[in-house]
Amino acid sequence: MARSLRRASPITLLLGLILCGGFLVFFLTPTDTTVSTSSKSASQRPSKPPPVKHYKLNGLTTSNDPKTNRETVLILTPMAKFYDQYWNNLLALTFPRDLIELGFIVPNSREGNIVLGKLQKAIDKVQSGPKAHRFAGVTVLRQDFDVPVSQNEKDRHALAAQKERRAAMAKARNSLVFTTLGPTIAWVMWLDADIVETPHTLIEDLAMHNKDIIVPNCYQRYTENGVQKIRPYDFNSWHESETALKMAEKLGPDDIIVEGYKEIATWRSLMAYELKDGGQIHAETKLDGVGGTVLLVKAEVHRDGAMFPPFAFYHLIETEGFAKMAKRLGYQPWGLPNYLVYHYNE
């Protein structure tokens, strides 16, 4: 039998009225189609967009006195091994550290992990020390490709390994400079990880020549019969020869010519043999090829497109290819045959 309305609970009636009212509001209220695209409240939204930075690169100077003119130097080092002598020599440079940025690229290998640990420890010690002793910035990269040959001196300097080894080195150099070359950098100094001795005024000495590209002479100290001697090490800084040009005409498009090997008689004049006893330390010579053990480059040369070809470029590769590319862009490389820097002797 139906329940009498008079016997219904007042609470039941109240809930029924509220439910009916809710349906009426739902059907009679216009639908709002606006959808919020952010979960942040208005108070959490940024009050203004991020700032836009402007740099006038035509106002960036590269002079013969970068210290006085406050020109920033980017020192770049591909590092397959960590030598304490390299790091100590770097720290001994007299150029102000607040004007120096450092960049390193380390192989992605087991040996690279060891190198990275030593490098990171050395960096942390300096960058956590007194502010006046810190570098303006430090970047460390890991290679995204394998090291093609062993890093011991005999294997990596074998003629058969040169094309593959130097192509990998060129890729490492390009990755490093393309990643670290910021808009405030005036100079780029390439400093190999096995350069263990240079004058402490290295940056000032090279920059005072105000050349687009300049390279010192790289030698190596050794002992023979108990006597300390020196010998040429880097043969990649040279003057072109007619013999080498004619040799290149007969090569295939992917073939390269490398210096310092008796199997390839180019008869180029090598800066390594132009050292003069008692010669003027700042004597200059024009070059067609350059080595990269120590190499000072105006940043605009890299910005204009001069890089280290990992392929045959006019039958040259890596640093020698870089010199050729720079010359094609209108930049003349120079060398200092009587200014010596020293390579680690393995």
Q: How far is CA 101 from the centre of its chain?
A: 10
Burial of 241 (0-12, 13-18, 19+ CB in 10 A): middle
How many Cα atoms are found within 13 Å in the side-chain-facing hemisphere of 227?
5
pLDDT band (50, 70, 90) for residue 22: low
pLDDT for the residue 259: 84
Q: Mean pLDDT in the chain?
A: 89
**Chain position carrying tokens 């720290």:** 91
CA-nearest of 329, 343, 299 to 73 is: 299
CA distance 86 to 338: 21
pLDDT for the residue 38: 45
Tell me the residue length of the chain. 346
Which tens digits make up the pLDDT trace of 53-92? 888 887 789 999 999 999 999 999 999 999 999 999 999 9
Once rounded to an integer, what is the mean pLDDT over residues 10-30?
Answer: 58
Tell me the domains of the chain and their CATH numbers: 62-343 (3.90.550.10)
pLDDT for the residue 56: 82
| Torsion of Cα atoms, 311 then 313 then 316 then 321, to 10° | -90
3-state secondary structure 11-76: HHHHHHHHHHHHHHHHHHCCCCCCCCCCCCCCCCCCCCCCCCCCCCHHHCCCCCCCCCCCCEEEEE
pLDDT for the residue 160: 65
Which tens digits make up the pLDDT trace of 94-118? 999 999 999 999 999 999 999 999 9
Contact assessment for residue 105 and residue 174, using Cβ atoms and an 8 Å cutoff: no
Structure tokens of 53? 């930075």
The DSSP element (H or E) to which 211 belongs, if any, is none
Once rounded to an integer, what is the mean pLDDT over residues 287-302?
Answer: 98
Which tens digits make up the pLDDT trace of 238-276? 999 999 999 999 999 999 998 877 788 999 999 999 999
Q: What percent of the chain has pLDDT over 90?
A: 75
Q: What is the pTM of this model?
A: 0.83
pLDDT for the residue 6: 47
pLDDT band (50, 70, 90) for residue 2: very low
